[in-house]
């Protein structure tokens, strides 16, 4: 299995540093960025828009990307994180404006995280906070290593580790509650 945290072979020091073609980056990392955003937002339509925005932002700063400072996946997730933070702020403002907000009801009816998940796990994921789902996405789904995930989240390694432990524990507890 490919190590997602490793630097691309073509760009490893001490050789000359060159960013891989952008189309290759899209092909390799689009699914990962989309998965991360689906888990973080709990909203597939928003995840699509944010993934598109992430790659647009990434393309604009692609020439400044230095592969020696981190893997492309970590860099893209940081951009996605920043785009999602803006989205959450806008959503909060929108929710305050619209009192008849009924997104949660919609979420209960359709599979958001994956059609293949058991209904118990799907419901348990919905009950986690975005921050809990985010760390699960980064560490479990995208298989980022601890330091890379901590960098994306902007927290310490220890805090990242604790957040993941709590998120997994809560996920199991929520699944048991759903089964009862």
Partner 1 sequence: MSAFDGSEMDGYEALVSELRANPPVAPERLRQRVLESAPAPRRQRSRKRKLVLVVVPASIVLAAFLFWGFRRWAG
Residues found near partner 1 in the complex (CB under 8 A): 21-23, 26, 30-31, 33-35, 38-39, 44, 47-48, 51-52, 55-56, 59, 113-118, 121, 136, 139-141, 145-147, 157-158, 160-161, 164-165, 168, 171-172, 175
> What minimum distance in Å lies between the beta carbon of 140 and partner 1?
5
The neighbour count for residue 83, using CB atoms within 10 Å, is: 19
Token pair 């860099």 is at which residue?
75
Integer Cα distance of 124 and 80 in angstroms: 24
Residue 23 or 99 with smaller CB distance to partner 1? 23
Q: Is 3 helix (H, G, I), strand (E, B) or coil?
A: coil
Residue 55 or 89 with smaller CB distance to partner 1? 55
Q: Is 53 helix (H, G, I), strand (E, B) or coil?
A: helix
> What minimum distance in Å lies between the beta carbon of 157 and partner 1?
4
> What minimum distance in Å lies between the beta carbon of 32 and partner 1?
9
> What minimum distance in Å lies between the beta carbon of 96 and partner 1?
29
> What minimum distance in Å lies between the beta carbon of 75 and partner 1?
16
Residue 60 or 68 with smaller CB distance to partner 1? 60
Residue 51 or 83 with smaller CB distance to partner 1? 51
Token pair 């699944």 is at which residue?
175
Chain centre to alpha carbon of residue 157: 17
Query: 155 near 148, Cβ under 8 Å?
Result: no
Q: Angle of helix 146-153 relative to helix 72-97, nearest 10 degrees?
A: 40
Integer Cα distance of 8 and 3 in angstroms: 10
Residue 31 or 86 with smaller CB distance to partner 1? 31
Token pair 């997104």 is at which residue?
103
């Amino acid at each position: 299995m490919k190590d997602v945290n490793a630097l691309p072979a073509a760009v490893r020091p001490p050789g000359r540093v060159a960013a891989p073609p952008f189309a290759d980056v899209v092909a390799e990392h689009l699914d990962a960025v989309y998965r991360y955003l689906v888990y973080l937002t709990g909203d597939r339509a928003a995840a699509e828009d944010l993934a598109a925005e992430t790659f647009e932002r990434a393309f604009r700063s692609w020439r400044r990307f230095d592969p020696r400072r981190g893997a492309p996946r970590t860099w893209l997730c940081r951009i996605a994180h920043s785009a999602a933070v803006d989205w959450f702020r806008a959503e909060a403002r929108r929710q305050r404006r619209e009192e008849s907000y009924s997104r949660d009801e919609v979420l209960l009816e359709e599979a958001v995280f994956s059609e293949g998940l058991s209904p118990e796990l799907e419901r348990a994921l919905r009950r986690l906070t975005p921050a809990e789902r985010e760390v699960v996405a980064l560490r479990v789904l995208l298989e980022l290593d601890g330091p890379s995930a901590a960098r994306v989240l902007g927290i310490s390694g220890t805090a990242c580790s604790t957040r993941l432990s709590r998120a997994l524990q809560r996920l199991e507890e929520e699944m048991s509650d759903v089964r009862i």
